A = this chain, B = another copy of it.
Amino acid sequence: MSEAKKESKQGKIRAQSEAKILAAAQEEFILQGYRGATVQSIADRAGLPKANILYYFKNKENIYHAVLEQTLDMWDEGIGDIDAADGPKVAIEKFIASKVRMSFKHPSASKIYAMEIIQGAQHLKEFARTYLRKWVRDKAALFQTWIDNGEMAEVDPYNLIFLIWSTTQHYADFETQILTVMNRADYEQEDEEQVTQFLTDFILRGCGLK
């Protein structure tokens, strides 16, 4: 009876506030780092008084954890599973496309993730050790099968996965640098398509699939 409370009415204000806070916090954590992002600055960006922030999240670290969790959920959705049934060509095409889409649609998530890893993955060690390691192992094995079957060139599957990750995420993480170098203010809609096209062509060729 009282179990569903969280989802019914009471949850609405809470959910709204939490979302506003998390969005503000994500930006502040990117721009200022964990320590540099003050609860006050998050409050200001969210347009709420500081004490209200601490009412929804017990403390600053909880905010950060929530932001990270949100980021991992997004990673999970956006990863674009590699499907064995597709065969190497289509599988790689799909994988690249969904990773590029993630980078252009949610650059902030990618940036938070990147910062966390660069700083030593203090909060993601567990995620990397379990979930991620298994994911990479599985997909690498799949690539290896295709290689053994002569369906693609002999490329080290692990390094191939790293290559796809790095190239696709680069457009999110290094957004600022790319835009500055290209003398542009923002990405345009066609940029995503153009990048997808470039990476797909290039990587398929690298895999001997084109």
Contacts and interface: CB of A to CB of B under 8 A. Distances in A.
A120 interface: yes
B181 A136 contact: yes
A119 interface: yes
B174 A166 contact: yes
A11 interface: no
Size class of the A contact interface (CB-based, 8 Å): 35 or more
A176 to B, nearest CB: 5
Given A31-B120, A177-B132, A181-B128, A163 B205 contact: no
A149 to B, nearest CB: 20
- Residue among A119, A121, A153 with most chain B CB within 10 A: A119
Given A30-B120, A156-B194, A166-B169, 16 more contacts: A31-B120, A33-B36, A34-B36, A36-B36, A114-B118, A114-B174, A115-B115, A118-B174, A121-B176, A133-B180, A153-B205, A155-B202, A160-B202, A163-B170, A165-B174, A202-B206
- For chain A, what secondary structure do more than half of its interface residues adopt (helix, strand, loop), or is it mixed? helix
Contacts of A147: none
- Residue among A160, A170, A208 with most chain B CB within 10 A: A170
A24 interface: no
A173 B114 contact: yes
9 contacts: A30-B120, A114-B173, A114-B174, A115-B118, A121-B176, A160-B202, A163-B170, A205-B206, A206-B206
Nearest to A203: B206
A111 interface: yes
